[in-house]
Structure formats: C-alpha cells, structure tokens
Amino acid sequence: MTDDLYKLTIGELGVLLKNKETTSKDILNSYIKRIKEAEPKVSAYIYNDFEEAERNAESADKIIASGGDFPPLTGIPLSIKDIFLIQGKKTTCASKILDNFISPYDSTVVRKLKENNYVFLGKTNLDEFAMGSSTENSAYKTTRNPYDLNRVPGGSSGGSAASVAADLCAGSFGTDTGGSVRQPAALCGIVGLKPTYGLISRYGIIAFSSSLDQAGILSKDVTDAAIMLGAVAGFDEKDQTTRRFEVKDYAGIVKKADKSLMKGLRVGIPAEFFSEGLDPEIGSKISEIKVLLKELGADIADISLPDTKYSVAAYYIIATSEASSNLERYDGIRYGYRYKEEGGNKMQSLDSLYRKSREAGFGNEVKRRIILGTFALSAGYYDAYYKKASLVRKLIIKNYKDAFGKVDVIIGPTSPTPAFLIGEKTADPLSMYLSDIYTISVNLAYLPGLSMPVGAVKNPSKQDGILPVGLQIISPWATEDRLLSFAKIIEDEVGFRKNPEFRKLDIL
C-alpha cells in the first residue's frame, strides 16, 4: 500500500493522515519513487527538490502527531509551475533570460501553501513566460503527454498538468491567461480550474498579461480542486486586482453536491462552441454529456455568444500589448541574463547590451508576441488595435452577462482537438493559437471556468491507446461553489478516474 500512495487523491490522502494510517513521509517516499521511474519519460519538472520536500514532510508529521485539526493540504506533496516565486529558490519561467534568477520573496499563493503545511516537490515546466499551448516553447525541455509520449500535454501549464496526470504529485498550481490551465487539463485527462479574476492573488507570479493572468489549479478530481482553491483564495493587500469575494467552504459544499441539484438547473449550450474546427468525436462526447444532464433533470437551452468569434483576435492584441510592457524590465542590467562579448570585452553601448541580451535570452515565441504587442501600442496604431480590442472585450463581457440572465451554467468542449503530436503545430503559430479558441473568452470576461475529463477518443497513433476529452463548464462571477458542485455531479456519473479504460497511460 505504501508504494501505491501516489495513486490517491488529496482527499483520500487527507483521510489516511487524519486517521494516522500513514505519514507524510510515507506519501512523499511513494511520490519520489514514482518520479524517479516516470519523470525521465514525461519531463514534467524543470527541477525537483527532494531535500526541501523531506523537511516539509517531517514538519507536517509533527503537526499531525501533535493532535487537533490541521489544514487539508498538510503533508500533501504538490508541484508548482515555475512562474510562482518561492523565496530562495530558482524561478526561470522556462526562459534563459531568468536562468539564474533566485526569488527574493514568496508569492502569495506559495505563502498560503506554506501556512497550510504543504510538501514542495518541485517546479514544473511551461511554455516560456506562459506563452504557448503545448509546452514546446520551454527553453529547457519538451514535456510529454502521459497518455502518449509523442504528443503534447497542452500549455502553457503543461508540466503541471502532466505531473498530475502521471501521478508525479498529488496536485499542482499553474496559471491561466487564455486557457493555460484548462486546455492542458483537457489534453491530460485531469481537472483544471481557472477561478474568477481577483479570487486568487497574482502577487509573486511573473507577469505575462496583467488583466488576463490568473492562478489556477490542476487536480486529480473535483474535490481536490475545491480543497486547493480553499487554501489559496482570498483578498490580498499586495495585489490590488484581488477582490473581497467571499471565500466559501468549497470542499464542504462539493461534498454535499448530489443529483437533486440538477433538477431545473438551466444549462446553456453556445452554438459558437460547436462550429467548424471542432473534432467530431469530441463534439459527440459533449453531446453525450448533454443527454446525461437531461436525464438528471437539467433544462438544456441553446444560446448564442455572438462576439466570441472575435475573442482570439482581441486576446492576441490585449495579451501581447500587456506582455510588451511587462517584459520590458528584462534588460540584462537589473536582473536576468546579460550578454557578454567573447573575450570578456565590454559592450559598446547600453542599447547594444539590451538588444543582445534580449536576443539571446528570449525564445522565438516570446519575441513574436513582444513585437506584435509593441506594434499594437505604437503611435498611430493604438486606436486601431488595442483600443478596438478593448471594446470587443466589453462586447464579450456583455454576451456572457446576457447569457447568464437566461442560464445558470454554460458547457462546451475545452479544446477543439485531442492532444496533438509534438512538432505538429510549431511551424504554424495561428493553428497553435486556435487551440485555445473555446477558453480565451472566459479570461476576457473575467469568469470562472473548469475543465474536467468526460471520456476519451481512440488514439490514431496507438492500437489500444486513448486520448482524453475535456468538458468546459463556465459560471457567473464568483460562483465557484456552483461550478464545482455541478462538475462533481457529472464526475460521479461519468467516473472517469475510477474507470481503468480511461487510465491507459503511456509511461511505464
């Protein structure tokens, strides 16, 4: 049993710890063994820190042994996307320009995790500066999908998603700017939660696009997502974009969720989420969920989000413009990679130093987005691009507001296709950008969204292989309790994680 502890969820491990049927050290040892066996094939982590993990586990065991209540993440091994600052540890954002950057302080998410006595397993891989949908843009390695090692795990939180799907951690924290938690969750067959903008602090998260970035959660099931959300949500004086939303007992609410909640619940199906480009097999799986919801008593309504067709274009103007401003600080002077001439000669000018440092430090996708954003903000083009994109954003927000006047939740596919082959889309940036076509509008509208596995399709590359399919659920502002409860009921009916037919991993 000790060797198999890595297979359990956070909720299941918490029960064992509470009943003193295991220890955090035993759980950690199970994960370390699993990581040593499977990580070389998956490449989910940029680095592991087993020494720190052992100190965390020993501390957690002392807290548990002392008696009394303890936070539900106490003694639980988690991974963290290498975009969150952890004091005294390297944070690279998967970029050479931050190759030797040591964090001087903790992000708020990490501070709260430490207060919850978590066990830190390591930092996970990502697309450089969270810019990508496949985790192929990392400066260090390409993470592989545990269901098929020749396919991508999605991105940009692909390392976090793969680490959860391959049982290399009990749960992980990522970031979601345009789908970077939900899309990899869909491709890897796990749960991915992007909370309402402002529910979780962004303090200490390296910025990509400040009005879109949001800390997110990747977990083995919906209950774990609720537990993790409760641990890190809340207003933060260090982040003025956080709101004073009520932080509810999400785990307790999810525990009480049952099928009776479905009766009369209004579920919207946007026509725009089932347009050209959607894999027919994925569309079929989502239709099966529609039938299931009807059987459970939900009222299904066809709705329209007419301006979401502009979401990709608006997103890539707003996000790149904000990235252009945020990444301006990486100059090779204050911190980050500094270019050095051969032979130790000094650069002839400051401008030349900036140019050379950024040229060598940033990858191609980051450069592409900086150039696009700088152009959109430049004199003579601001009104034509950034201002117009901001107006489109307002239309998208209104689309959702109108829709939620008619329905309680909205569902659709998370990704238009299953996991694609490594290298399949790297030469076609537009094709890669369209991987997030169903998730981007949720970020533009500041809404909470969740992806969960609801089945699988046949893997065309492997005779007996499968590829997971994700269902995306969207709810109004600050209704994570509704979102998670709805997802839990579907999870109980579908039973993805408990069905061995859906756990055909390609790693051992």
Catalytic choice (81, 220, 425, 488): 81
The DSSP letter of residue 3 is G
Sort strands 119-124 and 45-48 into parallel, antiparallel or unpaired.
Answer: antiparallel
Edge-to-edge strand list for the sheet holding 171-175: 45-48, 119-124, 77-81, 171-175, 215-219, 191-194, 449-458, 466-474, 409-413, 266-270, 299-303
- How far is the C-alpha of 162 from the C-alpha of 44, rounded, in Å? 6
- How far is the C-alpha of 420 from the C-alpha of 279, rounded, in Å? 12
Contact 251, 482 (CB under 8 A): no
Catalytic choice (133, 160, 180, 324): 180
Catalytic choice (134, 156, 163, 475): 156
| Cβ neighbours around 22 below 10 Å, total | 18
Q: Which residue has the tokens 């209540």?
A: 69
Phi, psi angles (nearest 5°) of residue 218: -120, 125
Q: Which residues pair with 267 in a beta bridge?
A: 300, 409
Whether 81 sits among the annotated catalytic residues: the reply is yes
Q: What dihedral do alpha carbons 182, 184, 188, 190 form, nearest 10°? A: -30
- How far is the C-alpha of 13 from the C-alpha of 145, rounded, in Å? 25
| Cβ neighbours around 395 below 10 Å, total | 16
Q: Which residue has the tokens 């199970």?
A: 30
Query: Quick one: how far is CA 444 from the chain centroid?
Result: 16
- How far is the C-alpha of 182 from the C-alpha of 129, rounded, in Å? 17
Catalytic residue list: 81, 156, 180
